[in-house]
Amino acid sequence: MFRTLGGMRTRPTLSWSPTEDLPPGTTDLGPVADALRSGGVLVLSGAGISTESGIPDYRGEGGSLSRHTPMTYQDFTASARARRRYWARSHLGWRTFGRARPNAGHRAVAAFERRGLLSGVITQNVDGLHQAAGSEGVVELHGSLDRVVCLSCGAFSPRRELARRLEQANEGFAPVAAGINPDGDADLTDEQVGDFRVVPCAVCGGILKPDVVFFGETVPPQRVEHCRSLVRRAASVLVLGSSLTVMSGLRFVRQAAETGTPVLIVNRDATRGDRHAVTRVALPLGAALTTVAGRLGVPVDDGVASGAG
């Protein structure tokens, strides 16, 4: 029997289109610099911060949703065929995903944290690049691809251990993927997936799932409450590289706005949270955050020593 780790299941929201006139984005970084100078900034990051590391986002220009439908919790738990397809694609993607390195945006966030300008970092990403850049205490809202959980007994295990077992069970599996997605899923055809062998939980023989929140699955309530407490303590909320399409991230922007906490957004495209924000800066994240760091006299690592693993 499956254990629902995230509580209630919801229908996934895969796209969003503005239904109202939103103010255009700006190139003025002044309000972002002022907020960081004052301190107490809570960062909420999305897939857009990792695009400069070679990981595409979901909804921006060239985003993966234009060619790829993410796995949903409902499909994963209901179909052995869907799980075979997921693990084949994820196993191949993991090899590429693990080679991604933090970019200037991740390094700037870590630098702001070291200077004491941030009250916390919440990321919707599952790539671990904030931690690889040196950020500490990052709340992984949607989990992390480097852990695996059993849906029957709840046992956790390292992804590298599963990767080793899958390599042994699928010797010679090395198809060429058409692309990699923000969830670590590689683009493969059904023919390339073939008869890929999925391995069970080493503890109870149950079904293994990455410790991430799939589309259609709910973030664990205790994690949501922890994030809400971070929003309550924040002087301002800085959204970096997120369209805020899904409620899991948007709810914190709404919470901040309802209590008068300023929300600032750096994202090239319009977002679902724009009407709650005092500004949206429409600039590339790496360059924008590096510029802000320079204005504040905050040194940012050049990335030579940074790694994702």
Active site residues: 142
Q: Identify whether the C-beta of residue 31 lies closer than 8 Å to the C-beta of residue 278.
A: yes
The number of C-alpha atoms within 13 Å of 228 and in the hemisphere containing its C-beta is 13
- Amino acid present at 19: T
